[in-house]
Amino acid sequence: MKLANLRILYLISCGALCLIVLSPTIDLISPFPEGERYSELYVLGPTHLMEGYPFNISAGISYNFYLGVGNYMQDLKYYSVRVKFRNQSDSGPDSLSGSASSLAPFLEYRIFLRNNESWEREIVFSLNDVSYNGNVSRVSNILVDGYSYDVDKTAVRDEVASGYHYQLFFELWIYNSAISAFQYHNRFVGLWLNING
């Protein structure tokens, strides 16, 4: 082998060794681009599909679906899923302004998730203490996973849709350590419920 070829081979080997030794420093100066950072909040029907959601329901009957949260924010996150119940005239979350509903939650799930980790649970619920007075219904109580919560909501009968409409919905909040509090994360999902009376 010629001396010039050995010199080239030596320079290439030294260059490769320098890259290996300096790679942690190069990563600090010019890190590889990260993927999109986001959180997900989802509801699946009783068969774990995006179908078959409870809609036309009756008082005192149990229904189920799945609620899930996914963390793709590139680090550990602390989430709060706030469960709320409203009628057709109560305000819901506003995705354009990024504001949560002003209604108080009746239930909350708090979850720590590492990056690329998900949390999911089956939710079993029934509406209890449902009463009717003329064309107005009142739901006084909701049972979720065996626990009873007072909600006290009324709805006027919708003659076109033939029912009383309520919404069970879920807002995703994320802990902000800079202010030591949860902030609304501009994600919500919900189920509209039509109680036939």
Average pLDDT, rounded, for the chain:
89
Pick from 89, 50, 56: which is nearest to 68 by CA?
A: 50
Q: Which two tokens stand for residue 26?
A: 């190069």
The strand pairing partners of 123, in sequence order, are 65
State residue 23's pLDDT score: 60
Mean pLDDT of 139-151: 96
For residue range 91-125, list pLDDT tens digits in order.
999 989 999 999 999 999 999 999 999 999 999 99
State what percent of residues in the chain have pLDDT above 90: 75
State residue 147's pLDDT score: 97
Confidence of residue 140 (pLDDT cuts 50, 70, 90): very high
Instruction: Give the range with max mean pLDDT: 6-15, 160-169, 182-191.
Output: 182-191
State residue 187's pLDDT score: 96
State residue 34's pLDDT score: 63
Check the CA dihedral 56-61-64-69 and report its sign: positive
State residue 159's pLDDT score: 84
Q: Does residue 66 have a pLDDT over 70?
A: yes
- Predicted structure pTM score: 0.81
β-pairing verdict for 77-87 and 164-176? antiparallel
Confidence of residue 18 (pLDDT cuts 50, 70, 90): low
